[in-house]
Amino acid sequence: MSFGFHPGWVEGYLKRRKIMNRVNNNWGQEISAGLIGYLTTVYIVVVNSAILADAGLDMEFGMIATILASTLGCLLMGFWAKLPLIIIPGMGVNALFTYSIVQQYDYSYGEGLGVVVIASLVFVITAFTPIGSYLSRSIPTTLKHGITIGLGLFLILIGLENAQLIVSGDHSIISLGDLSSPFVIVSLVTLLIGVLLFVKNVPANFLITMIVGTMLTFVFGLSEQEPITISLSSITDGWVAPEFHHIGQITFWAAVLPLALVLIFETIGILQGQVDMLEKPERYKVGSKSSSIAALFSGFFGTSPTIPAAENAAVIAAKGRTGLASVVAGVLFLSTILLIPYISMIPANAISPILIIVGVLMMQNIKHINVNDLTEAFPMFLIMFMIPFTYSIADGMAFGFIAYPLIKYFTGNKEATTPILWVIAGLFVLEFIVKATM
């Protein structure tokens, strides 16, 4: 028996060392991508809770609900879908929940959550069956773009109002705010900083914008907000359960329809693009299922539905390729509960620039308008303008969805319509009739 040197030992050692280095590098890469994803999306904890507050929920409970929903969504995407994608409450979807469902229908917060649960359940059904693909093919791309643009305009309007850059006018519907007001000046400076950080692609630009805006607000003595203290008892006492006693009413389903459509279209559009970027199209179906389950639980946690974050592009750019990045982000979101006493002090004019910037980003879909074909452009214009002008996402969608099949039919282009499109248009017409007779 010989114990002498053997060249194969060195070769085997070097091969094992190379494999271990690759594994360690991949782990570090995924953890780094998860951290970047968290930093670019953690702003949602404050922004979403601020929008939910307009629906009647206390800010601290909105933060907790947002954190729990984001944590679950990220963990589902990481462990089940095995994709490096962050799941958070959708911008635009939260506005639809607050301003078109709770406020327009005069629902309590719990009743609004009931709509969220049923709309998300519709999403779950479409994600687990071929219905989702059929529905997506049946709705014209023009109307989908119109919804996104309209949501963007609506967010810009809300952001400008919160920043007091626009106010109710004496001789017009709206007018320019008081530019001599310190509050407005700080809002403008924060918006400028936010835009510069974003266009320069500075990491965590939204988070930095909120921090700078908060500092400026306190420096100029414009905020009297005190830090919120939370306890287990306060969390359980403040939890709002979904309520379903309106489920037999037409208005309930009139609220479910637009939320379900926006939820499905937003998720399909974002998720499809992101799995293509990852070159993992085979993971789309399980990713859609994960996203739908996360949206369903959002209603029980107490927030508007979650969707894949647009900021996932940053995670992918950071070379996140596995579910570990999502799991890391989920754990970091959960740890954010410890920061609630501090982030609760972020004022409205530190949040409003983010609403404006996100709204502008959503309006990029305006490039898809075919102005040479008015049968396509006119319904799209109706949606994008009627959403902010009526201050109702559901009503704005209704105008476009009713106009599209009618215009196509009377211009002799019946093949451009589908049965499901006529059904949706009919439901929106029924909603308007019910409203007119109430």
Higher pLDDT, 207 or 171: 207
**Does residue 266 contact residue 259 with C-beta atoms inside 8 Å?**
no
| Amino acid 379: pLDDT | 93
Letter for the amino acid at 92? G
Residue 13: pLDDT band by 50, 70, 90 thresholds? very low
38 closest CA partner among 240, 330, 316: 330
What is the pLDDT averaged over residues 23-49?
82
pLDDT at 235: 65
CA distances from 345 to 11, 50, 214, 280, 421 (A): 59, 11, 8, 41, 46
Mean pLDDT of 361-383: 89
**Residue 252: what residue type?**
F
Is pLDDT at 218 greater than 80 in this prediction? yes
End-to-end Cα separation, the chain, in angstroms: 97
Please indicate whether residue 117 or residue 282 has the higher confidence score (pLDDT). Answer: 117
CA distances from 158 to 49, 129, 151, 152 (A): 14, 36, 11, 10
The owner of tokens 């469902």 is 101
Region of 238 (left: φ > 0; alpha: ψ -120 to 50; beta: rest) is alpha
Q: What pLDDT, on the 0 to 100 scale, is given for residue 5? A: 42
As a whole number, mean pLDDT of residues 16-30 equals 59
Query: Is 294 a residue whose pLDDT tops 90?
Result: yes
Separation between Cα atoms, residue 276 and residue 280, nearest integer Å = 6
Give the whole-angstrom CA distance, residue 249 versus residue 371.
39
Average pLDDT, the chain: 86
Amino acid letter, residue 181: S
Beta bridge partners of 168: 174
Q: Is 306 helix (H, G, I), strand (E, B) or coil?
A: strand
Mean pLDDT, range 107-136, rounded to an integer: 92
Tens of pLDDT, residues 153-177: 988 998 898 888 888 767 777 888 8
H/E element holding 108? none
Where are any strands of DSSP class E within 178-224? none
pLDDT band at 21 (very low <50, low <70, confident <90, very high): very low
**pTM for the structure as a whole:** 0.84
pLDDT at 113 over 90: yes
Integer Cα distance of 47 and 306 in angstroms:
14
Mean predicted confidence (pLDDT) in 345-371 = 86
Name the residue with higher pLDDT: 204 or 302: 302
pLDDT of 281 reads 85
Q: Percentage of the chain surpassing pLDDT 70?
A: 90
Which of these, 382, 397, 64, 48, lies nearest to 256 by C-alpha position? 397
For 124-150, write each residue's pLDDT tens digit.
999 999 888 788 788 888 898 898 898
The 10 Å Cβ neighbour count of residue 209 is: 26
> Is residue 224 pLDDT above 80, yes or no?
no
Return the pLDDT at 342.
80
Please say whether the beta carbons of 351 and 210 come within 8 A: yes
